[in-house]
Structure 1
Amino acid sequence: MSADRTDMTAARQPGEIATGYRLILPSPWEQVPLRQGTEEAVRRILREAFARISPEVPPDTVGPYKRELERRFRAAVAEARRGRALDVYLPVRPVGETNLGASVVVSEALLPRPRRQGGGASAPPTEVAVRLLARDAPAAVGETDLSSGEIDGALAVRREYVAAADPARGADPAARRVEYIASVPGDPARWFVAAFSTVGAGDPGDELAEALVTWFDALMETFRWRYT
């Protein structure tokens, strides 16, 4: 499944299988594809970020800043690739004076395809989605909010929770997580997953985290399937 930020989705024909998606991203965010063209995208984004550094910043400050920025950016991309994601979206420009500690990781979950027809009743799609969300889920702190609905006409389940800190995976602070999982139209064995994560301004329950969760929900309203 591929991503396209600008392609206009064509009307779906009966039985047609979705082959990609599109999201309308605000300018502070950039998409890094993880199956091909990753290094080219990383170098371009870093080059543009370095070019925005004020010439008034002392050289002995610029060097360490560039190295730390590149380290953090590449670490986020590497973490998404280890999870076999399709794309990762990162805020590469500050909003006002705030650097957003957030990410959106897009992946797909595949179910075993039936070997023959008539092999018995399958689980309801909503139950399947909940099971997929539960796979490899980090430990949650407090309650988990779970709801179902649709995105662009496909069944979707939304989960929101606070993930506990996990230093072994590089996640030192706890993080606010919101995940959408949607059944891919025309292919019941494939599920689209969009996972948003933020540490807010240092507290996953603070006002910045709340605002970013609201932003992500609004972003998912722009989601459209793409058909070839």
Structure 2
Amino acid sequence: MHVPVEQTESRAAGPPPILGYRLILPDDWEQIPLRHGTEDAVRRILDESFRHIPAGSPPDKVNVFKRELERRFRTAVARVQDSNALDLYLPVRSTSDVNLGASIIVSETLLPRARGQAWPRSEPTDVALHLLSQDGVENADLSSGEIDGALAVRREHIAEADSKKGADLPSRRVDYIVSVPEDPNRWFVAAFSTVGGSHPRDELADALVEWFDAVMATLRWRRE
């Protein structure tokens, strides 16, 4: 799982630079890289989904189902790609009859530079809160801590349905924004979303949020 790195000048002696990250997820979650290898991942997931179509199903209905599933899936992936994210994770091989209606989007945020100057020196927590405030979310629950030695700010809120953004139902959102070690201008962002079973604050949503917090505790940096 690779996070692109730009190196514009040689580094002084010190810890190897961060080249990527690792998360531990169950086998029924698939990674879709959004910078390279996207088509291979999409094709593999679709082919796996098609194999679960019951044998003997009417061919005309099967073909309609396949086309519609592929259209919706590719549209969803393209929408996330447009946000310039790095990776998309989806539960595509669940063995239960429960539709988790969940996703994880991983991206990288670079602090803006004014006239070529670096971001003014500020407390990392203040910088993280500034980045989180840029999307206008209100009434969110905020907390902070450390993951693998790096500052992490956690935000949880309910997002209303917005069909224009492909969100037909309200969802529970949990965002982690984590400072990349030895590089104060780079931040790792993991955004989790679930519609729950029937409501974004039902028992299924609660369980999935708790699960995502456990997943984020597995975050480790990948160095040279």
What is the TM-score normalised by the length of structure 1? 0.86
The answer for the alignment partner of 1:216 in structure 2 is 212
Corresponding position: 1:176 with 2:172: yes
The answer for the alignment partner of 1:10 in structure 2 is none
1:201 aligned partner, one-letter code: G
CA-to-aligned-CA distance 1:151-205 (integer Å, 9 cap, x gap): 1110000000001111221212111000000000111100000000011123111
State the Cα distance separating 1:61 from its structure 2 match. 3.8
Corresponding position: 1:131 with 2:127: no
The answer for the alignment partner of 1:105 in structure 2 is 105
**1: CA distance, partners of 2:95 / 2:178:** 30
**1: CA distance, partners of 2:122 / 2:29:** 37
Q: Is the 8 A contact 1:113 1:189 kept in 2?
A: no
**2: CA distance, partners of 1:219 / 1:67:** 33
State the Cα distance separating 1:77 from its structure 2 match. 1.0
The answer for the alignment partner of 1:144 in structure 2 is 140
Identify which range, 60-69 or 104-113, moves more after superposition.
60-69
The answer for the alignment partner of 1:29 in structure 2 is 29
**1: CA distance, partners of 2:2 / 2:195:** 28
Matches within 5 A, 1:17-56: 17-56=17-56
1:104 aligned partner, one-letter code: I
State the Cα distance separating 1:56 from its structure 2 match. 4.4
**1: CA distance, partners of 2:168 / 2:215:** 27
Matches within 5 A, 1:42-81: 42-81=42-81
Instruction: Look up the SS of the partner of 2:153 in the other structure.
Output: strand
Matches within 5 A, 1:74-93: 74-93=74-93
State the Cα distance separating 1:72 from its structure 2 match. 2.7
CA-to-aligned-CA distance 1:97-150 (integer Å, 9 cap, x gap): 112211100000001458569x9x62210010011112225x55xx41100001
State the Cα distance separating 1:209 from its structure 2 match. 0.9
The answer for the alignment partner of 2:153 in structure 1 is 157
Instruction: Look up the SS of the partner of 2:128 in the other structure.
Output: helix
Percent identical among aligned pairs is: 60
Q: Is the 8 A contact 1:93 1:99 kept in 2?
A: no
CA-to-aligned-CA distance 1:45-64 (integer Å, 9 cap, x gap): 11111112221444344233
The answer for the alignment partner of 1:191 in structure 2 is 187
Q: Is the 8 A contact 1:155 1:182 kept in 2?
A: yes
Aligned residues: 214
Structure 2: which 5+ residue stretches go unaligned? Answer: 4-12
What is the TM-score normalised by the length of structure 2? 0.87
Structure 1 residues 99 and 65: alpha-carbon distance in aligned structure 2, compared to 1, 3 A threshold: farther
Instruction: Look up the SS of the partner of 2:188 in the other structure.
Output: strand
Q: Is the 8 A contact 1:154 1:183 kept in 2?
A: yes
**Runs of 4+ with >6 A deviation:** none
**2: CA distance, partners of 1:215 / 1:224:** 17
